[in-house]
Structure 1
Amino acid sequence: MQDLTPPILYILLFFAKGREYRPYWWSTGNPSFLIDLLKQQKCYLPEVENFIADDIILDSFDVDHIDLVALLWQTGYLTFAEKFTKREKIVYRLKVPNKEIQLSLNELFIDYLTDQRHAKNAWQDKLYDSLAAADLDAFKQGLSSLFAGIPYQNYANKIIEKYEGYYASVVYTYLASLGTPMVAEDVTSKGRIDLSIQLTDKIYIIEFKVDQPGRALAQIKERGYHEKFLGSGKTIYLVGINFDSKEKNITDFAWEEI
């Protein structure tokens, strides 16, 4: 009878010889056409990790009219999370399969949104560090600098029907690419939170508005978005951010600690 070597030994030998496990598959298969499709279909990026589709969409593949959801599913960037019936039709909730793909997709989205390939690591660190330290002034400054550095042509060349979605997508992808635990369009009994971020001892509830100064924080408080987190034992921060569509940057930033 031939001896079999446990697979774990090969893994241990791999690391013992100084090897590194990294997503090399992504580097060799990074689809540039996915970027083009994102531009064409003006996808609200946080929704990528919570798509709902039926068999007709998932099985479709028309080279002249490629559906983004179908493409992501057929190429393995999305997988099934849940199957349920809606209006007497079977539908599927999709998700990103693992952390590796999630991080890589968000890195790709950052390139699509901002064209700041060389500066993105510095911006990511600043934003994450400010949240970890509950330094909201630094968080605001980091966001303002981030948006100030986005080339004008990124706005001029894109017909952004929902400005709010664009700004939210930029913030979401920068933080999501770090693996920060967050939920976009977080559902409560009184509405949807644009973005909720949960760190070890802190929760941030963020609402984005465009050309509505003072409205973002007021909406969080009026609708009691923070109430679902009151029993968490964590410090809760309510953050309202307003962007000016002409200035393409933050003109009102207000926050409160609960």
Structure 2
Amino acid sequence: MLVTGRKLPIGIQTFEDIRNDGYLYVDKTALMWTIANIGKPFFLSRPRRFGKSLLISTFEAYFKGRRELFTGLAVEELEKKWEEHPVLHLDLNARKYTTPADLDAILNQHLERWEAVYGEEKRDRASEERFAYVIRRASEQTGKGVVVLVDEYDKPLLQAIQNEPLLESYRSTLKAFYGVLKSADRYLRFAFLTGVTKFSQVSVFSDLNQLNDISMNYDFSTLCGITHEELLSNFEPELMALSRANGMNVEEVVDAMTRQYDGYHFHPNGEGVFNPFSVLNAFFSKEFGNYWFQTGTPTFLVELLKESDYDLRLLMDGIETAASAFTEYRADRKNPIPLIYQSGYLTIKDYDKRFQMYRLGFPNDEVRYGFLNFLVPFYTSVTDEERSFYIGKFIHELESGDVDAFMHRFEAFFADFPYELNDQTERHYQVIIYLIFKLMGQFTQAEVHSSRGRADAVVRTPKFIYIFEFKLNGTVEQAMEQIEEKGYAFPYTAEDQQVIKVGVEFSAEKRNVERWMVAKEI
């Protein structure tokens, strides 16, 4: 039993279960009702564990006329008819897709269930023909428009993202299957598809070009997720319990949750939302953990980053891009940003209306540090288990002024690097440097720069300010000279902390740190 005495719907994706079993529910039914009554075929892209399955289940209960499940919710006052419609609910989330037969099996499983109700005359035909027939028969038999709900339409495609032949097979099957929704339009009352990604119009949805994509619609930007107001109004007992468990007041708890879980924006001017999965788990565990990130490691995203030779420093600092560059993924283009954005690791931070350019960045600290921590084993020889130990030691050594110990430990991140230092691997070194200092930023004020006219990195501790300059194709003397000539230390001379300048030289032969030099401001 929770201290608050309330049941949190962690992992509960069925609206009926939430309502019948007394789970807490954040009311999104006014938005649901609006969508259900302003059009017919809709598409919504949201990251995993953002409530897409629950939304689909809510639509299903609504269109089945289950009025009793909506008692006390906004839609109870909005809906006057409560008509029951035939609902075809296709859930592609609960299976692993490794062969074309896996996709055929899940489609066949759903089709057989629908055919058992509405007729089996086309059972020997292709899946798309059977789908079209079931829709028509359901409408004719009930005299009502059919509702088609597709949960995680792109699950097979995502699992085959690095296997082009398999991806093409899935794409061909799903293109024909989803294309039925256009030809069957006269029999449909409503259609709603959800997924993580928006694949290019020339692939899966090319035959379904009338889809109304509301993924970046202002009015529905808070359809999935928890707003700041919803957090305060729905979770007061949980906020109090979390504050008591952590020795914080409620305002401090809300601030901590905002830094850790808020910050998702699905429209440049839309209200931001908290990650619902992390919020519920934080309330349940009474700890500010990295719950969402731990539920799915984005290995395929890291592989895409490495294959595309994408400069990770741009990703870490935030990138500017046109909407088309991050909203539609094309498998034939080596641009990982659309998948990273749509998977929830980047979000909209700003929008330049004049030039129609978006700025994307990490939504919050859970994603920022979760993603950076996850990258370390892919770019260094340091294991997951060692990473936290190293970062903690880095902080202690700089706080105590032991630069030599810091640099000796720094070398471990570059050990066993397999290539000669050249243009390609120079960026790899720079990425590792970025990772180290960005991860230190969890515990102390650390900045790492890529622009000219600024030191490569600056770290603030209670007693010291460190100015770092790295030379991948130069000497330690040149690094120190650059610190002096460019006046990198000047902005910090009025600070209370002692300024320490550190020049670092890398060796192409050793493929590691060769020398470093330390100078302290008097």
TM-score using structure 2 length: 0.43
1:7-86 superposed matches below 5 A: 7-13=235-241, 19-48=286-315, 49-84=317-352
Q: Specify the code of the residue in structure 2 equivalent to 1:44.
A: D
Offset at residue 100 of structure 1 (A): 1.1
Q: How large is the RMSD of aligned CA atoms in angstroms?
A: 2.8
1:89 is paired with a residue of what secondary structure?
A: coil
| Partners of 2:448 and 2:456 within 8 A in 1 | yes
1:123 to 374, 390, 410: 390
- Report the CA distance shift for 1:141/1:58 in structure 2 as closer, same or farther (over 3 A): same
- Report the CA distance shift for 1:167/1:152 in structure 2 as closer, same or farther (over 3 A): closer
- Report the CA distance shift for 1:93/1:30 in structure 2 as closer, same or farther (over 3 A): same
Partner of 2:47: none
Tell which structure's C-alpha radius of gyration is larger: 2
Partner of 1:226: 489
Offset at residue 147 of structure 1 (A): 2.4
| Partners of 1:185 and 1:192 within 8 A in 2 | yes
Offset at residue 36 of structure 1 (A): 0.3
| Partners of 2:465 and 2:498 within 8 A in 1 | yes
- Report the CA distance shift for 1:127/1:43 in structure 2 as closer, same or farther (over 3 A): farther
1:216-241 per-residue CA deviation (whole Å, 9 max, x = no partner) reads 12111111112223333332222111
1:217 to 442, 460, 480: 480
Partner of 1:251: 514
CA–CA separation in structure 2 for the residues paired with 1:18 and 1:63 = 39
1:141 to 408, 411, 415: 408
1:125-156 per-residue CA deviation (whole Å, 9 max, x = no partner) reads 222211111211111111123323xx344x48
| Partners of 2:369 and 2:439 within 8 A in 1 | yes
Offset at residue 60 of structure 1 (A): 3.4
Answer yes or no: is 1:171 the counterpart of 2:438.
no
- Report the CA distance shift for 1:6/1:68 in structure 2 as closer, same or farther (over 3 A): closer
CA–CA separation in structure 2 for the residues paired with 1:207 and 1:44 = 20
Offset at residue 186 of structure 1 (A): 6.2
Q: Specify the code of the residue in structure 2 equivalent to 1:228.
A: P
Q: Specify the code of the residue in structure 2 equivalent to 1:62.
A: R
Q: Mean Cα displacement is larger for which, 42-51 or 26-35?
A: 42-51
CA–CA separation in structure 2 for the residues paired with 1:113 and 1:186 = 18
1:255 is paired with a residue of what secondary structure?
A: strand
2:295 is paired with a residue of what secondary structure?
A: helix
1:148-167 superposed matches below 5 A: 148=415, 151-153=416-418, 155=419, 161-167=423-429
CA–CA separation in structure 1 for the residues paired with 2:494 and 2:368 = 29
1:207 is paired with a residue of what secondary structure?
A: strand
1:22-73 per-residue CA deviation (whole Å, 9 max, x = no partner) reads 2222122221111101211233333222222222322331022252233322
1:175-194 per-residue CA deviation (whole Å, 9 max, x = no partner) reads 4224143222265xx71322
- Report the CA distance shift for 1:182/1:93 in structure 2 as closer, same or farther (over 3 A): farther
- Report the CA distance shift for 1:60/1:220 in structure 2 as closer, same or farther (over 3 A): farther
Partner of 2:358: 92
CA–CA separation in structure 1 for the residues paired with 2:491 and 2:364 = 27
CA–CA separation in structure 1 for the residues paired with 2:466 and 2:490 = 12
Offset at residue 19 of structure 1 (A): 4.6
Partner of 2:448: 184
Q: Specify the code of the residue in structure 2 equivalent to 1:210.
A: L
Offset at residue 83 of structure 1 (A): 2.9
Partner of 2:107: none
- Report the CA distance shift for 1:6/1:74 in structure 2 as closer, same or farther (over 3 A): closer
CA–CA separation in structure 2 for the residues paired with 1:38 and 1:244 = 26
Q: Specify the code of the residue in structure 2 equivalent to 1:78.
A: L
CA–CA separation in structure 2 for the residues paired with 1:229 and 1:186 = 19
CA–CA separation in structure 1 for the residues paired with 2:495 and 2:348 = 29
CA–CA separation in structure 2 for the residues paired with 1:24 and 1:160 = 39
1:9 is paired with a residue of what secondary structure?
A: helix
1:103 to 369, 374, 378: 369
Q: Specify the code of the residue in structure 2 equivalent to 1:96.
A: F
Aligned residues between the structures: 246
Partner of 1:241: 504
Q: Mean Cα displacement is larger for which, 38-47 or 242-251?
A: 38-47
CA–CA separation in structure 1 for the residues paired with 2:495 and 2:320 = 29
| Partners of 1:163 and 1:245 within 8 A in 2 | no
Q: Specify the code of the residue in structure 2 equivalent to 1:27.
A: Q
- Report the CA distance shift for 1:194/1:60 in structure 2 as closer, same or farther (over 3 A): farther
Offset at residue 101 of structure 1 (A): 1.0
Q: Specify the code of the residue in structure 1 equivalent to 2:514.
A: T
CA–CA separation in structure 1 for the residues paired with 2:388 and 2:350 = 34
- Report the CA distance shift for 1:162/1:45 in structure 2 as closer, same or farther (over 3 A): same
Unaligned runs of 5+ in 1: none
Greater length-normalized contact order (CA 8 Å, ≥ 6 residues apart): 1
Q: Specify the code of the residue in structure 1 equivalent to 2:396.
A: D
Identity of aligned residues (%): 24
